[in-house]
Amino acid sequence: MLSKKIQAALAGSSAIRAMFVEGKELAAKVGAENVFDFSLGNPATPAPERLKQAMKDLLDTEDPLVLHGYMSNSGYEDVRETIAENLNRRFGTSFGWKNIVMTVGAAGGMNTVFKAILDPGDEVIVFAPFFGEYRSYAANFDASIVAVGPDYETFEPDLAAFRAAFTDKTKAVIINTPNNPTGVIYSDETMKKIAEILLGMEEAFKKDIYLISDEPYRELVYDGAKENFLTQYYHNTIVGYSFSKSLSLPGERIGYIAVPDTAADAENLLAGIEVANRTLGFVNAPSLVQKAVAACIDETTNLEFYDKNRRTLYEGLTGLGFTCVKPQGAFYLWLKSPVSDEADFVAAAKKYNLILVKGSAFGCGGYVRLAYCIPHEKIVRSLEAFAKLAAEYHLGA
C-alpha cells in the first residue's frame, strides 16, 4: 500500500540514521559510556545561555497571540529584517527583509527552493562527497542529482569534471562549504573558478543557473579561517542557512533562505519560495524560535569545544597511521578506509564500539565520516579503540 518512492526510500534509508540507530542499540547492550558514536551531526555543546533567557523573556513579554500565531508564510518581518541587517553588517550584502524567507531548518529551506525551481527531469549538480539527503530532496520533485567527483588530494571539487557535468537540463548547482562530510573549506580561488564556469555555462546554454549555497556550518571555521558568504562570487546565488549548528538547535527546525536582488527572477523566486513553504506543508517556520534566534543573532557557538576535539582526533588518528583529510571547518573528519570497501571497515570498527558512517552514503566510497561533536573525554578514550582497529589493519607498523 506504500507509494513506490517510499518503498524505495525504506529499502535504502539514510545510512547516517541507520548508524545512529545501531549506536543506540549498542549503547543499550554495552552501556552508552562505552560506545563512541561518531554517526550524527548533533551539536554537543549546548545552546547559548542567552537563548534560554531570550525565550523566557519572549514568553513573559510578547502577546501569545502574536508569539504563537500565524504570520506571513515567509516569517515575521522584524525577524527577517534583523537577519538581513546582520548579514549586511558582516558580509557587505544589501539585503532587506523581503530577501529573507524563514524556513523549517535548512532541509525545509532546500525543499522550498527545489519546489520553486525544479521541473521533472531537471538536473542538479553536486560536489561529491555530499550530504546524501540532497538526493532525496531532488527526487521529491522528480529531478536528479549529478555528482561531480573531488580532487582526492584536497577534496575540493574536480573543476574539469564540473565543467563537463553541465547539460541543457542543469537547473542548479549545490555547494556546501565548510563541507559535510569532509570538513574542507573551498578556497577563494576555487570559488572564483566555480563562478567563472557557471557564468560560462549560463552563456553557453542561454539560461539562468542557480548556485544554491547550503551554509549550516558557515561559522564553524578553525585556524583563523574567515567566515564566508557565497553571494559575493556569483550573481545567481541562493543561500540556505540553519541555526542548528551555530546555536545548537537542530531539533527546533529553524533556518532561512536568502535571495539577493541580483538573482535571476528574484522577486518571483521569493514569491515562489513563500508559496512552496505553504503548499509543502511547512506553512511557516516555528514562531517562538524565529523570534528567539533574532534575539540571539550575535551569539556564537563554543568553537573552542569543537576545535579541541578536532585537534585531538586528527592528531590521534594520523599518529595511529590513519590517512585523514585535515578538517578546516564544520565538525566532521574524513578518513580513508584502509580497505577499498569501507563497509567492511565500518563493520570492523563496530567491534570496538566505534560508530562511523560509510563514505558511500555521501557518494564517495573508500572513506568514512566521523562526526566529532561528542564530549572531549570520549574523543580521548576512543583513540584507545582506534589503536586496536589500527593494529587489526597493521597500520603504522
Should residue 250 be labelled a site residue for a second copy when binding is judged by CB under 8 A? yes
Q: Contacts with a second copy: how many residues (CB under 8 A)?
A: 81
Should residue 395 be labelled a site residue for a second copy when binding is judged by CB under 8 A? no
Tell me the closest approach of the beta carbon of residue 313 to a second copy, in angstroms: 20
Of 18, 27, 146, 264, the residue at the interface with a second copy (CB under 8 A) is 264
Site for a second copy in 163-202 (CB under 8 A): none
Site for a second copy in 69-128 (CB under 8 A): 69-71, 73, 104-105, 107-112, 115-119
Site for a second copy in 334-353 (CB under 8 A): none
Should residue 46 be labelled a site residue for a second copy when binding is judged by CB under 8 A? yes
61 or 340, CB closer to a second copy? 61
Should residue 219 be labelled a site residue for a second copy when binding is judged by CB under 8 A? no
Of 29, 65, 189, 226, the residue at the interface with a second copy (CB under 8 A) is 65
Q: How many CB atoms lie within 10 A of CB 3?
A: 8
Should residue 206 be labelled a site residue for a second copy when binding is judged by CB under 8 A? no
Should residue 284 be labelled a site residue for a second copy when binding is judged by CB under 8 A? yes
CA proximity to 292, closest of 239, 240, 243:
243
Which of 79-87, 137-145, 146-154, 214-222 is the region at the interface with a second copy (rule: CB under 8 A)? 137-145
Of 28, 33, 64, 380, the residue at the interface with a second copy (CB under 8 A) is 64
185 or 239, CB closer to a second copy? 239
Tell me the closest approach of the beta carbon of residue 183 to a second copy, in angstroms: 20
| Rg, C-alpha atoms of the chain | 21
Should residue 18 be labelled a site residue for a second copy when binding is judged by CB under 8 A? no
Sequence-distant (6+) residues with CB within 8 A of 189 are: none
169 or 326, CB closer to a second copy? 169
Of 288, 295, 385, 395, the residue at the interface with a second copy (CB under 8 A) is 288
CA 311 → CA 88, 114, 314, 383, distances in Å?
33, 37, 5, 12
Should residue 61 be labelled a site residue for a second copy when binding is judged by CB under 8 A? no
Of 29, 63, 298, 397, the residue at the interface with a second copy (CB under 8 A) is 63
Of 98, 169, 278, 308, the residue at the interface with a second copy (CB under 8 A) is 278
